[in-house]
Amino acid sequence: MEKRQIIFKVAKQVKALLQDESSGHDWWHAFRVWKMAERIAKKEKANEFVVSLAALLHDIADWKFYDGDESEGPKQAAKILRQYGVQAPVIQHVCQIIKDMSFKGAKVKTPMKTLEGKIAQDADRLDALGAIGIARAFAFGSYKRGSIYDPKIKPAFHRSKQQYFANKSSTINHFYEKLLLLKDRMNTKTARSLALGRHKFMVSYLKKFFKEWKGKQ
Ligand code: ADP
Ligand code: NI
């Protein structure tokens, strides 16, 4: 099967899998990450086949929904790719990217081993920023049954994946615990410059949020 055809078949499968997802990890998240990753891959002259597959498949079984288990996502992705006769080294590369991709706490490093991984990670992180990032954060916050904001709970900089995973603080805290840190953790120049605009928008959103919280606006 041709590479383009495989990508479209995989996209169709991911769409079916993530159709009814309501925590911000839905099909349209995968779609946006895919398109953004493709765009960066063209600029950076990376392997577009690997980047597209990793972007599409990165959230089909995220560890956050599997009790912290990082092996389920790569396992399910490999199963899909084998159906289309994708070569073993490509499957291995895509699965490694999926495994390494997630943010796991402010003090936890999440380095990517290859250019393709760096690009997929950047595209995923861009989707956590800006207007869309704000919408997704509140969607996930409600899935986690956390509050919108609680002034009594201070933001924390998590030192391990376990701490980050167990965290029960508010969605506004999540901006300080992750979202505002992402602009400095982008891997590629293209993503860094897009991240900056999205970052500024979140900063102004937070300013207004706190003004309204205090009844000043
Ligand atoms: P990552 O794999 O890096 O976590 P995802 O694509 O899985 O990225 O996106 C996770 C989404 O859920 C992001 O938009 C993120 O900001 C949001 N999120 C994660 N944890 C929380 C939380 N505790 N409160 C609110 N939003 C959260
Ligand atoms: Ni994602």
> Is the entire prediction scored with pTM above 0.85?
yes
pLDDT over threshold 90, residue 168:
no
Residue 176, pLDDT score:
98
Kindly report, residue by residue over 102-161, the tens digit of the pLDDT. 999 999 999 999 999 999 999 999 999 999 999 999 999 998 888 999 999 999 999 999
pLDDT over threshold 90, residue 63:
no
Rounded distance between C-alpha atoms, residue 69 and residue 203, angstroms: 33
Ligand 1 closest atom vs CA 169: 23
The residue whose C-alpha atom lies closest to atom 26 belonging to ligand 1 is: 137
- Ligand 1 binding pocket includes 63 (Cβ within 6 Å): no
Q: What are residue 30's phi and psi, to 5 degrees?
A: -60, -40
- Rounded to whole angstroms, the maximal C-alpha distance in the chain is 61
DSSP label at residue 65: G
What 135-140 contacts at long range (C-beta under 8 Å, 24+ apart), as own/partner pairs, is 135/24, 136/24, 136/29, 137/24, 137/171, 137/174, 137/175, 137/179, 138/171, 139/22, 139/23, 139/24, 140/23, 140/24, 140/25, 140/171, 140/174
Residue 68, pLDDT score:
87
Residue 64, pLDDT score:
81
The residue behind tokens 């995989």 is 10
Residue 167, pLDDT score:
85
pLDDT over threshold 90, residue 71:
yes
Ligand 1 closest atom vs CA 173: 24
- Ligand 1 binding pocket includes 161 (Cβ within 6 Å): no
Rounded distance between C-alpha atoms, residue 121 and residue 192, angstroms: 12
Ligand 1 closest atom vs CA 133: 14
- Ligand 1 binding pocket includes 140 (Cβ within 6 Å): yes
Q: Which residue has the higher pLDDT, 62 or 150?
A: 150
- Ligand 1 binding pocket includes 170 (Cβ within 6 Å): no
Residue 189, pLDDT score:
97
Residue 57, pLDDT score:
98
Residue 200, pLDDT score:
98
pLDDT over threshold 90, residue 179:
yes
Q: Tell me the ligand closest to 14's alpha carbon.
A: 2
Rounded distance between C-alpha atoms, residue 196 and residue 96, angstroms: 28
Query: How many residues would you count in the chain?
Result: 217
Rounded distance between C-alpha atoms, residue 132 and residue 112, angstroms: 24
